Structure 1
Amino acid sequence: MSWLSRVRSGIPFLPKRQSADNLWHKCKKCEAMVFTKEWEDNLFCCPRCDHHDRIGSKARFEQMFDDGKYDIVPAPEVREDPLKFRDTKRYTDRLKTARANTGARDALTNARGKIGRRKSVVGVQDFAFMGGSMGVAVGAAFVAGVRAAIRDKAPYVLFTAAGGARMQEGILSLMQMPRATVALAELREAGLPYIVVLTDPTTGGVTASYAMLGDVQLAEPDALIGFAGQRVIEQTIREKLPEGFQRAEYLLEHGMIDMVVKRHDLKATVARLIDYLAPRKKKAA
């Protein structure tokens, strides 16, 4: 054995689960280095600047449901790759990669459980799954979530995060916009609330449809919310737009949303809204 091998063997490396790669987290906003555990314990918010990082459905469900207990609402089966689309990769290959990376079937996952001891159905869009884009599977999952809420006589709470419609499905993706609107009409006919929490980012066709149709519109701090991008709008109207005009705080100031709520307060706020919008029925004497 060479001297280099002996020295290398004698260096006390950290075990893999505590390696330098996952022991620290670099904040995307302030670039501070914080312990990953501290970041996770702070609900994936930077303890230095309070930047709310993007999270997936599993973490969101555990944060929102009482005792972290919930049951996944099965997603309907839909036809995959209806247009046999291919750009630099086959669409089917992109789906396989996204599923391997996230563990989810598609970008929208629904679950049922209790929030503040009230039965609720919660849907979460995961931006990590192809940018949370809205395709046929997302539209079907949205309808399934709404109908699960109707069956349970419970509110439907949706966390949005999307780059818009899924280009690989063409016009079929855009058809999910009116489809979602019809499903929400069924929910309202049943007298059940629809609460939307806009997270970073919520853009495109999702913003133009079910993301902005809530009975109450909440948003996480500094979330990007809009239809078209700032550069596109500036080039169209040939004017310089105000700083942060598509951020949650600006939209709150101009009446587009109702509240900006920090992640630590979301569960309590949603529970309170459910009590306001769907008060408990008094038992007959």
Structure 2
Amino acid sequence: MNIKDLFSKKKRYATIPSERAKQEVPEGLMTKCPSCRTIMYTKELKKNLLVCASCGHHHRMSGYERIESLFDEGTFIEYDKGITSVNPLQFPDYEKKLEAIRQKTGLMEGVVSGEGLMNGLPAIIAVMDARFIMGSMGSAAGEKITRAIEAAIEQKKPILLFSASGGARMQEGVLSLMQMAKTSAALEKLNRVGGLFISVMTHPTTGGVSASFASLGDYNFAEPKALIGFAGRRIIEQTIRQELPEDFQTAEFLLEHGQLDRVIHRSEMKETLAKIIEMHQQS
């Protein structure tokens, strides 16, 4: 074989994988980072608390993933799992939408609440799950958060609240908006008895959630690059007729302007919260 024959057999173009080859790759095996576009093994991403190893982008966490990352193994006891929303306004197809999202997520409602131990320290937690109708705050979600706050008052334990929401749930109208007052009133009761409330805002925390309980913490924290705000950027710019800064409504912008106490990387979240809880117990 001469050199010419050797090079003539080399493929000039990459082949396109067959449909069979594509099907042999398990779904969910790889994840592409929406920030830096790096493709990584999903298993490795989960080991890193769903934080991109290349750029530090914080992927969204489900409610149970969040709790697993914070509480000591085997200590979490869930509250009010069966509470669900109804359709008081007879909004078209609302029941079908709720049933479909329940089947998809395994959740009855967009909040997971309960109690457990964090580095051996007792705490109560409520976590909003953005997979459930974008974490919108319906009457059931507000009820679960309120009951968690009331449990913190009764048991004299600190409460942690992780927000991730697009705001009020339009299918429940004014009943959804009433949850702002309901949860805020419960937090005022907690404040009067000297209870500890730590609010952590994740991506995104917007609308009525950001305007009520999410901003009422004794400590107000956020994850890096989280979108936090009430109205949308475009609406604000059209109203005030000014162009807003590039980083407007990010966690870092709010920290710089005094609306947050700290932006905490997910890898430091458990230790930071546990230290605060321990400090308050000692005092």
What is the TM-score with the length of structure 2 in the denominator?
0.89
Equivalent position of 1:226 in the other structure: 229
Equivalent position of 2:264 in the other structure: 261
In the alignment, is the contact (CA less than 8 A) between 2:83 and 2:108 conserved in 1? no
What is the TM-score with the length of structure 1 in the denominator?
0.89
Q: Distance in 2 between matches of 1:79 and 1:106?
A: 7
Query: Offset at 1:24?
Result: 0.8
Q: Distance in 1 between matches of 2:23 and 2:236?
A: 51
Equivalent position of 1:237 in the other structure: 240
In the alignment, is the contact (CA less than 8 A) between 2:206 and 2:229 conserved in 1? yes
Superposition misfits of 4+ residues, deviation over 3 angstroms: 10-14, 75-79
Query: Offset at 1:68?
Result: 5.2
Q: Which of 1 and 2 has greater Rg?
A: 2
| Paired letter, 1:237 | I
Query: Offset at 1:67?
Result: 2.4
Q: Distance in 1 between matches of 2:36 and 2:252?
A: 19
Query: Offset at 1:22?
Result: 1.6
3-state secondary structure, aligned to 1:206: helix
Kindly tell me: are residues 264 and 11 of structure 1, through their superposed partners in 2, closer, same or farther at Cα, counting changes over 3 Å? closer
Equivalent position of 1:62 in the other structure: 68
Deviations along 1:171-217, whole A, 9 cap, x unmatched? 11101111111111121122210000100000000001001000000
Equivalent position of 1:3 in the other structure: none
Between the two proteins, the alignment pairs up a number of residues equal to: 265
Q: Distance in 1 between matches of 2:245 and 2:100?
A: 38
In the alignment, is the contact (CA less than 8 A) between 1:217 and 1:259 conserved in 2? yes
Deviations along 1:18-43, whole A, 9 cap, x unmatched? x3432211001111101111111100
Q: Distance in 2 between matches of 1:40 and 1:146?
A: 30
Query: Offset at 1:13?
Result: 7.1
3-state secondary structure, aligned to 1:279: helix
Q: Distance in 1 between matches of 2:134 and 2:85?
A: 20
Equivalent position of 2:51 in the other structure: 45
Q: Distance in 2 between matches of 1:247 and 1:32?
A: 23
Query: Offset at 1:235?
Result: 0.5
Deviations along 1:109-134, whole A, 9 cap, x unmatched? 10210112111001100011001001
Residue number among 83, 94, 102 corresponding to 2:89 in the alignment: 83
3-state secondary structure, aligned to 2:116: strand
Residue number among 122, 125, 133 corresponding to 2:125 in the alignment: 122
Kindly tell me: are residues 24 and 178 of structure 1, through their superposed partners in 2, closer, same or farther at Cα, counting changes over 3 Å? same
Are residue 21 (structure 1) and residue 27 (structure 2) matched?
yes
Are residue 138 (structure 1) and residue 138 (structure 2) matched?
no
| Paired letter, 1:211 | A
Q: Distance in 2 between matches of 1:251 and 1:68?
A: 36
In the alignment, is the contact (CA less than 8 A) between 2:84 and 2:109 conserved in 1? no
Equivalent position of 2:100 in the other structure: 97
Are residue 157 (structure 1) and residue 160 (structure 2) matched?
yes
Equivalent position of 2:190 in the other structure: 187
In the alignment, is the contact (CA less than 8 A) between 1:202 and 1:225 conserved in 2? yes
Equivalent position of 1:214 in the other structure: 217
Kindly tell me: are residues 94 and 251 of structure 1, through their superposed partners in 2, closer, same or farther at Cα, counting changes over 3 Å? same
Query: Offset at 1:12?
Result: 11
Equivalent position of 1:280 in the other structure: 282
List alignment gaps of at least 5 residues for structure 2: 1-17
Are residue 147 (structure 1) and residue 150 (structure 2) matched?
yes
Are residue 173 (structure 1) and residue 176 (structure 2) matched?
yes
List alignment gaps of at least 5 residues for structure 1: 1-7
| Paired letter, 2:143 | A
